[in-house]
């Protein structure tokens, strides 16, 4: 089944008050045209809903080879299925925004 797993990593997700962008990793099934197209569509959708994103895309095989998720201590934010479902994207955006709440509170102290 074709899907994209979305992970957050970097200073924004590690609780830093200061961050320059929001780093996301999109992990898609393989290097097939369909899998890459889904990842690109997800990237486009996420960028249309959030600003200041830095998005890295890797196939599952490449992610395993680099151990990116483990090395970057990336946090799984959600999964987007083959049919781009607005609900899946909205849940991921809500997860990302939930991470910004501690940042907002810390700035006021």
pLDDT at 17 over 90: no
**Each residue's pLDDT tens digit, 34-74:** 999 999 999 999 999 999 999 999 999 999 999 999 999 99
Structure tokens at 88: 């899946």
Task: Report whether pLDDT(104) > 50.
Answer: no
pTM of the model: 0.87
Categorize the per-residue pLDDT at 105 as very low, low, confident or very high, splitting at 50, 70 and 90: very low
What is the four-CA torsion angle of 105, 11, 19, 53, rounded to 10 degrees? -110
Rounded distance between C-alpha atoms, residue 60 and residue 4, angstroms: 9
């Amino acid at each position: 089944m074709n899907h994209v797993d979305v992970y957050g990593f970097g200073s924004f997700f590690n609780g830093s008050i200061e961050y320059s962008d929001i780093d996301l990793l999109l992990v898609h099934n393989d290097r097939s045209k369909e899998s890459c197209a889904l990842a690109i569509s997800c990237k486009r959708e996420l960028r249309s809903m959030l600003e200041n994103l830095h998005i890295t895309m890797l196939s599952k095989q490449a992610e395993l080879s680099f151990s990116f998720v483990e090395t970057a201590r990336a946090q799984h934010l959600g999964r987007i299925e083959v049919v781009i479902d607005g609900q899946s994207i909205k849940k991921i955006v809500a997860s990302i925004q939930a991470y910004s709440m501690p940042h907002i509170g810390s700035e006021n102290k």
